Structure 1
């Protein structure tokens, strides 16, 4: 029998979780998936999905945490949004006939877990964050640990670091797996490394925790006068427009505005990365995975990552990339200067990056996801 999974998201706005799910649904896999998500008031990560994916637009548009106002008011809005979302998904025909429900985000997992209890359908929670107060807030952490995870039939984490934050809170029969998010990668057998570093870049949505300010300061320190450019690929999302303005002002204050490009959202991520000579991941709190890291490595790019979280499961300092002390401008600037000054190091790291073990295409990731969901269904039958 063909598997009928229903994926549920609390938003359609373009974030990492949404773009990853889009890639998963575009993969050629033997299943009949349905996506349940609210309509998009702005950018739509789920526009133009193929007819093989049934899409139900239902439920309220949830506010980002940063836009939810004072804590008490934000909690009330969150609770009301959860109630409305639960009521909406319970009226979904797809939910009623699903073999398994998959919550694509931490926020959607709360009402999906409740829907699973009420419909007696197994629920899989996709953990894309470190489930701890510093990462997702105290209320969300408590809800996941006390309500969602004990009721989950399965947990898919995007890294071992993510899984470690939830493993103590799942039930004894819960199935778990670490499956990296589909990142749209294609393996590069023979990476091209230019003689000089012309462009350094970060691919990530514009958000304070993604570390654009940290990289901008490190770039200004490492290349105060050189012609090297810094390119930020990624748009504002979830209410971060003011942060973009702050970054633009900082570039001007640092005297590098003429060499800093805010390119916005790009559909051709692979093409954008191809134009970079050094690629950076520099989140200022531990990154659960960083799809950008997988994309950098697969493209055979000299890669610099913070020395914590999911990225160091993929990057070994001095072997297939460089690591810097997280949140340390001087350490990051030193790595950037070193790569600019040592072309042989760049070439060696690029070759090793492309050969990193475990990098998978979207189809391979989707096949693993289907196998895991089938296992969950079989063990709960």
Structure 2
């Protein structure tokens, strides 16, 4: 855990409140955007400023329209299209041009000149943030929400991360141990690096509830909360659901928006559900703002991503809500779930194993109730104010490390 004075103590000693310029490459709905929004809504004791690149799909502040009025914000620069780092040489050149253009916008911003810390909320914003801080004494903090590997970042994005971003980082916040370990080979010695879960809107300390409306009978509602995206595993869950619940009075809810051009995938889910004979049992409600109400109606919650999830905010939300959880046994979710204790782990990308886990939970209400109670008591779950306090301490740790390095002292 972080050590040193808190930002409040630092302000009392120096009369200075830490000023943090938060960078994000989009205001479209996404896990990283909601995580930052929740921190800014939790009343941080640093002085935040938000600089957002224009979103592809909407004008204005998008998700960040809900940021409290006391937080200055600005949309400026050039769009940073999702997925652009996955193409060939021409796509890589286009990515580079957009990154450099946005770096110039950041460098010229008045908020940049006054910032103590430049904090990149996403991998793309970290790319242009790293160029913006070059040649300056600004402390540069990078949020890692994806594993540092080409499969997660794309070839161009991975190259930027390991050659430009991480070698310049003065601090790294990772959302899981798996994420942090994937970045360690590229960090300078002594750079503060810490695992802090993303702000996920958790309500901790609430009494554990039983395993949903069907606690004493069979499963009536199965759900996944994730953006509609092929790698999030909605298709795999649909296939497994059909094997167990076809023709039953059981519903499958795949809750989440379909940003970044995945509307066609949502349509393919509907078509496949019809082919499997469960079309009338499938709900695609889109983005859901009231997550607590959504989860309260589920009996079983699933995470089935087809590549390793760096964290899986949905898994934290499931656990805090006291739901029986089925998750893929890799990446961040496997750090939070002990198989058979507070959830069930299944081999990733294995539809048969996922179906077997659903069938097991359907047949055993006592197991569902036991997993639900243990889920709500999972150690380490943090609500948004606690996540925000952890960031406050981390910013102070980074500033102390930067100061010590400039004075030739070893980092604490």
Q: TM-score normalised by the shorter chain: which range applies?
A: over 0.9
**1:88 aligned to 2:88?**
no
Partner SS for 2:63? coil
**1:342 aligned to 2:352?**
no
CA positional deviation for 1:248: 1.1
Match of 2:58 among 42, 47, 54: 42
Q: Which residue of structure 2 lines up, in the alignment, with residue 61 of structure 1?
A: 79
CA positional deviation for 1:190: 2.5
CA deviation string 1:93-143 (max 9, x = no partner): 111110101111111111101111233201011000001012211221121
- TM-score, scaled relative to structure 2: 0.90
Q: Which residue of structure 2 lines up, in the alignment, with residue 116 of structure 1?
A: 133
Taking a change above 3 Å as real, the CA distance of residues 272 and 105 of structure 1, as seen in their structure-2 partners, is same
Partner SS for 2:373? helix
Partner SS for 2:77? coil
Cα separation, 1, equivalents of 2:135 and 2:228 = 38
Within 5 A, what are the aligned runs for 1:101-250?
101-187=118-204, 188-193=206-211, 194-195=215-216, 196-250=218-272
Cα separation, 2, equivalents of 1:126 and 1:9 = 11
Tell me if the contact between 1:129 and 1:136 (Cα under 8 Å) persists in the aligned partners: yes
CA positional deviation for 1:52: 2.3
Structure 1 residue ranges without an equivalent (≥5): none
Tell me if the contact between 2:100 and 2:131 (Cα under 8 Å) persists in the aligned partners: no
Q: Which residue of structure 1 lines up, in the alignment, with residue 70 of structure 2?
A: 52
Cα separation, 1, equivalents of 2:185 and 2:281 = 47
Q: Which residue of structure 1 lines up, in the alignment, with residue 47 of structure 2?
A: 32
Cα separation, 1, equivalents of 2:311 and 2:66 = 27
Taking a change above 3 Å as real, the CA distance of residues 69 and 292 of structure 1, as seen in their structure-2 partners, is closer
CA positional deviation for 1:69: 8.6
Cα separation, 1, equivalents of 2:376 and 2:143 = 27
Cα separation, 1, equivalents of 2:231 and 2:91 = 20
Partner SS for 2:326? strand
CA deviation string 1:218-237 (max 9, x = no partner): 00011122111000110101
Tell me if the contact between 2:80 and 2:124 (Cα under 8 Å) persists in the aligned partners: no
Cα separation, 1, equivalents of 2:364 and 2:58 = 44
Cα separation, 2, equivalents of 1:18 and 1:231 = 23
Match of 1:327 among 332, 345, 349: 349
What is the number of equivalent residue pairs in this alignment? 380
Moved over 3 A (4+): none
Partner SS for 1:293? helix
Within 5 A, what are the aligned runs for 1:5-20?
5-20=20-35
Cα separation, 2, equivalents of 1:116 and 1:165 = 23
Partner SS for 1:308? coil
- TM-score, scaled relative to structure 1: 0.97
CA positional deviation for 1:70: 4.8
Within 5 A, what are the aligned runs for 1:274-293?
274-293=296-315
Q: Which residue of structure 1 lines up, in the alignment, with residue 379 of structure 2?
A: 357
CA deviation string 1:159-207 (max 9, x = no partner): 0000010011100131100000000010232313332311100000000
Cα separation, 2, equivalents of 1:354 and 1:244 = 31
Tell me if the contact between 2:141 and 2:170 (Cα under 8 Å) persists in the aligned partners: yes
CA positional deviation for 1:73: 2.9
CA positional deviation for 1:71: 2.0
Tell me if the contact between 1:65 and 1:74 (Cα under 8 Å) persists in the aligned partners: no
Within 5 A, what are the aligned runs for 1:252-267?
252-267=274-289
Q: Which residue of structure 1 lines up, in the alignment, with residue 89 of structure 2?
A: 72
